[in-house]
Amino acid sequence: MNIAVIGTGYVGLVSGVCYAELGNHVICVDNDPRKIDMLNDGEIPIYEPGLKELAATNREEGRLAFTADLSSAVIHSDIIILAVGTPPLPNGEANLDYINQAAIEVAEAMNSYKIITVKSTVPVGTNERLAQLIRLHTNKPFDSISLPEFLREGSAIQDTLKPDRIIIGAECQRAAAIMVELHKPLTENIVVTDIRSAEMIKYASNAFLATKISFINEIANICEKVGADVTQVADGMGYDKRIGPSFLKAGIGYGGSCFPKDTSALIQIAGNVDYEFKLLRSVVEVNQDQRFNVIRKLKTVFDGELQGKVVAIWGLAFKPNTDDVRDSPALEIIQYLVDHGVIVKAYDPVALHSFQSLFGIGDVIWCNEALETAQDADALCLLTEWEEFASVDLLELQKVLKQPILIDGRNVFKEEDLIDTDFIYYSVGRPNLNQGVKQKVPVL
Ligand SMILES: NC(=O)c1ccc[n+]([C@@H]2O[C@H](COP(=O)([O-])OP(=O)(O)OC[C@H]3O[C@@H](n4cnc5c(N)ncnc54)[C@H](O)[C@@H]3O)[C@@H](O)[C@H]2O)c1
Ligand SMILES: O=c1ccn([C@@H]2O[C@H](COP(=O)(O)OP(=O)(O)O[C@H]3O[C@H](CO)[C@@H](O)[C@H](O)[C@H]3O)[C@@H](O)[C@H]2O)c(=O)[nH]1
């Protein structure tokens, strides 16, 4: 098939490259000419393992191209995939300006029948509204498809080439059949639904996963008070097939460009039809507070006095294997520390540059290496579970810190890792370790 993908963010780029990998001819379009120049120079604007190599192969083999010329991409394609951003508005609703604009541009460029597919996450009813908008700008025939995307950053290629399922929301059976054919090589689990249900499946899935995370974080908070270990609890729960083991990692709460925005948007979608989504409101509230456990633990070890302390931060991205810092919990944690007179030293193996631009010059000491960050710090907080941190020599780390205080926001270390160290160690939902395993202390 000839496919035009509009928008070269995570979703547009990864799905464009993967459709090319399946043997289709793909033109990826962006209205940011710097992105297109980078892509045409063989660079990839985002950090995503394996993407650069896969893009290069498909370009070399003539199946993948990048352009800022939306019209010519539309003219030469049978399927148009809209993958532009739908970021949150201040009230939590999805901002549909980009997708409206992209739809109009596509309509104005149309020269013949097209299948117009929406991969962006959009509120229920948006596909129908976009179809009306398109009809106002063209008299050429088209069919609408809702094709929600479920990839995760950091494992986006694997998620796209081997998805758990493909959801195709369609009114027209012929267009649905073409989309089924396109995705057949990826999975047997292709579910065709009506358009509104497809739109809802995306929000419901993200909201459910966010609920699992807030649930386990609350269990972790209770574990801390009753002396249980949340990692063992989650493990024990996960064997129940009805529960499953995934998304039960307690930590500092979820971040990223999707869960925070999509949970807020779903609360708004419900509110717009006069339904208060109480459960999801609580999920968001729990998540918002969870990150501050790191601060509460720091306050406890420093007897409430943070002013003038040097705190090292390991990990800025909202999860490992991405340089995306959108809605990363690290942002608020660091801002709080800076606002309360803490000298913050921060490091991330990949996301440092995206993060730096969000802070004032001189607010934070940015470091290029993990141990250098910890040097002479009064405490170290681990906020993203990058592989690199798990393999650090803890005796070496203890030596460079001014005080051996480690707040592990992601439960990276195990009790046995701390044997022979003098760390005062706080993690999430597990017994605190005071001076290695020598003394277990009551939890905060
Ligand atoms: N990031 C993810 O992991 C992920 C996963 C699943 C679904 N989604 C959803 O997919 C959508 C895209 O997310 P993203 O993170 O890739 O977005 P993004 O904001 O990173 O990228 C969007 C791109 O679209 C371009 N763009 C905007 N308007 C355009 C236009 N008129 N013509 C051409 N290009 C245009 C922008 O320049 C930008 O490069 C969102 O709705 C998001 O919720 C994201
Ligand atoms: O057990 C867990 C799992 C995840 N997280 C956190 O949850 C956030 C999101 O993680 P993840 O879901 O792996 O990454 P995303 O790339 O944001 O992917 C989510 O959001 C995408 C955008 O909608 C969807 O496509 C994906 O299916 C959905 O998993 C991160 O901050 C993680 O640290 C936890 O705290 N505990």
Q: What is the pLDDT of residues 231-260, one digit of tens each?
A: 999 999 999 999 999 999 999 999 999 999
Residue 435: pLDDT above 80? no
Ligand sitting nearest the alpha carbon of 86: 1
Query: Which residue out of 18, 28, 223, 258 is catalytically annotated?
Result: 258
Of 259, 290, 323, the residue with max ligand 2 atoms within 8 A of its CB, to mutate for a pocket test, comes to: 259
347 Cβ neighbours under 8 A, 6+ residues apart: 312, 313, 314, 315, 316, 366, 367, 368, 369, 370, 372, 373
DSSP character at residue 94 = B
Task: Give me the amino acid identity at 160.
Answer: T
211 is in an annotated binding site: no
- What's the number of domains the chain is made of? 3
Residue 419 CA to ligand 1 centre (angstroms): 46
Question: What does DSSP say about strands 343-347 and 310-314: parallel, antiparallel, or unpaired?
Answer: parallel
Q: What is the pLDDT of residues 114-127, one digit of tens each?
A: 999 999 999 999 99
Of 86, 152, 332, 386, the residue with max ligand 2 atoms within 8 A of its CB, to mutate for a pocket test, comes to: 152
Do 165 and 236 fall within a single domain?
Answer: no
Do 157 and 215 fall within a single domain?
Answer: no
35 is in an annotated binding site: yes
Question: What does DSSP say about strands 190-193 and 79-82: parallel, antiparallel, or unpaired?
Answer: unpaired
Do 23 and 156 fall within a single domain?
Answer: yes
Do 131 and 149 fall within a single domain?
Answer: yes
Task: For residue 436, name the pLDDT band (cuts at 50, 70, 90).
Answer: low
Do 307 and 346 fall within a single domain?
Answer: yes
Question: What does DSSP say about strands 432-434 and 424-426: parallel, antiparallel, or unpaired?
Answer: antiparallel
Structure tokens at 253: 């709460």
The β-bridge partners of 379 are 311
Do 9 and 84 fall within a single domain?
Answer: yes
Residue 94 CA to ligand 1 centre (angstroms): 12
Task: For residue 443, name the pLDDT band (cuts at 50, 70, 90).
Answer: low
Q: What is the pLDDT of residues 372-430, one digit of tens each?
A: 999 999 999 999 999 999 999 999 999 999 999 999 999 999 988 998 899 999 999 99
pTM surpassing 0.90? yes
Range of the domain at 408: 291-441
Residue 438: pLDDT above 60? no
Contact indicator for 1, 24 with CB cutoff of 8 Å: yes
Contacts 24+ apart (CB under 8 A), 324-328: 324/10, 324/46, 324/47, 324/153, 324/256, 324/257, 324/351, 324/354, 325/351, 325/354, 325/355, 325/358, 326/255, 326/256, 326/257, 327/255, 327/256, 327/257, 327/260, 327/261, 328/255, 328/256, 328/355, 328/384
Three-class SS string for 162-188? CCCCEEEEECCHHHHHHHHHHHCCCCC
pLDDT of residue 111: 96
The string of DSSP letters for 361-410 reads: TTSEEE-SSHHHHHTT-SEEEE-S--HHHHTS-HHHHHHHSSS-EEEETT
Atom in ligand 1 nearest the alpha carbon of residue 153: 3
Of 209, 212, 218, the residue with max ligand 2 atoms within 8 A of its CB, to mutate for a pocket test, comes to: 209
Do 424 and 328 fall within a single domain?
Answer: yes
DSSP character at residue 429 = S
Do 13 and 158 fall within a single domain?
Answer: yes
DSSP character at residue 416 = G
Q: How far apart are the first and last CA of the chain?
A: 59
Atom 8 (ligand 2): residue with closest C-alpha? 254
- Please name the residue that has the structure tokens 């739109």: 199
pLDDT of residue 4: 98
Residue 185 CA to ligand 1 centre (angstroms): 25
> Biggest alpha carbon distance in the chain?
76
Where among 289, 319, 350 does a domain terminate?
A: 289
Do 49 and 26 fall within a single domain?
Answer: yes
Do 303 and 403 fall within a single domain?
Answer: yes
Atom 20 (ligand 1): residue with closest C-alpha? 9
The β-bridge partners of 190 are 166
Residue 151 CA to ligand 2 centre (angstroms): 9
Atom in ligand 1 nearest the alpha carbon of residue 120: 41
Coil, strand, or helix at residue 322? coil
Do 107 and 224 fall within a single domain?
Answer: no
258 noted as active-site residue: yes
The β-bridge partners of 365 are 345
pLDDT of residue 431: 80
Q: How far apart are alpha carbons 411 and 422 in whole angstroms? A: 18
Where among 130, 164, 193 does a domain terminate?
A: 193
Atom in ligand 1 nearest the alpha carbon of residue 11: 16
Residue whose C-alpha is closest to residue 122's, from 95, 153, 91: 95
Residue 71's domain is classified under what CATH number? 3.40.50.720
| Complex ipTM tops 0.95 | yes
Residue 260's domain is classified under what CATH number? 1.10.1040.10
Write the CA distances from 385 to 176, 228, 251, 391, integer angstroms: 40, 22, 10, 11
Atom 27 (ligand 1): residue with closest C-alpha? 84
Task: For the chain, state the CA radius of gyration.
Answer: 24
Share of the chain above pLDDT 90, in %: 92
Where among 160, 193, 226 does a domain terminate?
A: 193
CA angle 311, 316, 317 (to 5 degrees): 165
Do 224 and 178 fall within a single domain?
Answer: no
